[in-house]
Amino acid sequence: MNDIRYVSTRGEQEPLSFKDAVMTGLARDGGLLVPDRLPDVRPFLREWASLDYADLAFAIMRLFAGDVAPHRLRALVNGAYAAFSVPEVAPTRKLGEGLYLLELFHGPTLAFKDIALQFLGRLFAEILEERGGRMNILAATSGDTGSAAIAGVRGQERVDIFVMHPHGRVSPLQERQMTSVLDANVHNIALEGSFDDCQRVMKTLFNDLPFKEKYSLGAVNSVNWARILAQIVYYFHSAFRVMEETGADGVQFSVPTGNFGDILAGWYAKRMGLPVRRLVLATNENDILARFFNTGRYELGRVVPTINPSMDIQVASNFERWLHAKLGGDCAAVREAMRTFAETGRYELPGASRGKVDAEIVAGASDTKRTLATIAKHYKKSGTLLDPHSAAGVWVGEQFNELDVPTICLATAHPAKFPKAILDATGEDLAHHPVLDALAGAETRVAVLPNDAEAVRAHVAAHAR
């Protein structure tokens, strides 16, 4: 079987190998890289069901990473998941009747981004050592990506990382997790704007090809295919555990999402043959994705700051990957759709009717009142604390919990990262974790920059090694 190659959603870049796709990040034509085909893994499901997390990750990733020697891929995977605080890496436990919680916060920075970025940081180091290269990572974060990316590459000799977060719009603990890392290769930027502004600046600099090549820009955001690939694994792992426990022949997943990367990984898992009945997309008040999947209209709104800041997004990068597949791989149609949206802030899916945008995805939106009530309810019921992102996913998941298969809700961050939301929901100071408590009073370093691509360009040029 020929190795999978990676093509741009906009069709104007030559196909790439896995390693080249990882190092390229955003395609040269401004599109996102996607595999030229998805493997049908149904023949392997029975065998895979009994594998532990690292072995399952290796089995899935090797199908997509044909140019990474198997023994090296296994070493990268084993190293990545040895950094987690529980042997199962991403355990799933019962939350209620027909309701399960997939805990994705047992990595070094207590967020689901660790599952991909502990692997990606090691993969970068491997490829750069092999090729004798250097890289300057440019990232945008709405909270957790930044600290997880920094944890994945801090101290690396061949990598510098520049992380932009929206100034004053991430939780204080999330900010301190990033800005208290003082390694010489770590550069934090507080951009005076929203997360969407951070993404816009990032894409502007990536689309400046001479600048991108001069400074060897690399991506750790979910525009990088390796991020999506690593996240596919936990859908399989969790589904296998729940189906074994319940005897069900399938599951559904409820996924809190802002940038569409996490739920996209589940969508790919379903298309590969995992028996996922459907996916439940959960947003907060920034509900552009929920509105789209209920109406077929992708329409920009104003970013509203909320208690779940990682979901405070209007322009979802990974939406383009889904759209490319939905349009049958018609790159010209994708280019036109993205041009229309960029110019007008609106795009309407051809032929979409209400409720029939994608039979595999249903969608709903929580809000602050519902999210806080969900945190309170489950703490009172079982002692389980949910962070506000996970709680939004649970609330929406409960609205769609009518199928004859279990619903697995993704818990994307440890509740201790959001102490104010937990206090507001429960009336108690419950949100603590030793890793986070140790940050109190830590020295920090961050550059506050205006909401301007040129200011960020100059900062990268001045500090890149």
Residues acting as catalytic residues: 113
Is residue 298 within 8 A of residue 344, CB to CB? The reply is no
> For 215, phi and psi rounded to 5 degrees?
-105, 10
Task: Kindly state the tokens that stand for 146.
Answer: 């930044």
> For 112, phi and psi rounded to 5 degrees?
-65, -20
3-state SS track over the chain: CCCCCEEECCCCCCCECHHHHHHHCECCCCCEEEECCCCCCHHHHHHHCCCCHHHHHHHHHHHHCCCCCHHHHHHHHHHHHCCCCCCCCCCEEEEECCEEEEECCCCCCCECHHHHHHHHHHHHHHHHHHHCCCEEEEEECCCHHHHHHHHHHCCCCCEEEEEEEECCCCCHHHHHHHHCCCCCCEEEEEECCCHHHHHHHHHHHHHCHHHHHHCCEECCCCCCHHHHHHHHHHHHHHHHHHHHHHCCCCEEEEEECCCCHHHHHHHHHHHHCCCEEEEEEEECCCCHHHHHHHHCEEECCCCCCCCCHHHCCCCCCCHHHHHHHHCCCCHHHHHHHHHHHHHHCEEECCCCCCCCCCCCEEEEECCHHHHHHHHHHHHHHHCCCCCHHHHHHHHHHHHCCCCCCCEEEEECECHHHCHHHHHHHHCCCCCCCHHHHCCCCCCCCCEEECCCHHHHHHHHHHHCC
> For 448, phi and psi rounded to 5 degrees?
-90, 120
Q: How far is CA 266 from CA 91, 93, 126, 303, in A?
A: 17, 19, 27, 26
Nearest to 258 by CA among 404, 102, 412, 419: 412
